Amino acid sequence: MSTPPPVHLVVGDDPRFRADATKALVADLLGDDDPSLALEEFTLAARTDAGEGDAAPSGDGPPVVDRALSSASTPPFGTERRVIVIRDVGAMGAADGEAVARYLADPCPTTALVLVGGGGRLPVALTKAVKAAGGAEVKTAPGKTGDALTAALDGAEVKFTGAAAHRVADWFGDDAGRIPALLEVLRSAYGEGARIDVDDLEPYLGEAGGVAPYLLTGAIDKGDAAGALEILHRLRGSGFHPLQVMAVLHKHYQRMLRLDDPQVGGEQDAVAALGGKVKPYPAGLALRQARLLGAAGLRTAYGHLAKADVDLRGATALPEDAVLEVLVARLAGLSRRAGAGGSSPRGRPRPSGPSRSRGR
pLDDT tens sequence across 224-274: 999 899 888 888 877 778 888 898 899 899 999 999 888 888 888 888 988
β-bridge mates for residue 245, sequence order: none
The whole-number pLDDT of residue 151 equals: 63
Q: What is the mean pLDDT of the chain?
A: 80
Which pTM value belongs to this model? 0.45
Distance, CA of 211 to CA of 231 (rounded, Å): 7
Query: Mean pLDDT per 10-residue run, the chain (360 residues)?
Result: 80 77 88 90 70 43 83 90 93 88 93 91 86 87 56 71 79 66 76 82 63 83 91 80 88 91 87 84 89 94 94 87 93 90 40 36
The domains of the chain, with CATH numbers, are 7-139 (3.40.50.300), 145-204 (1.10.8), 213-347 (1.20.272.10)
Distance, CA of 298 to CA of 305 (rounded, Å): 10
How many helices (H) and strands (E) the chain has is answered by 15, 7
Report which residue type is found at 38.
A
Report which residue type is found at 143.
G
Rg (CA), the chain: 27
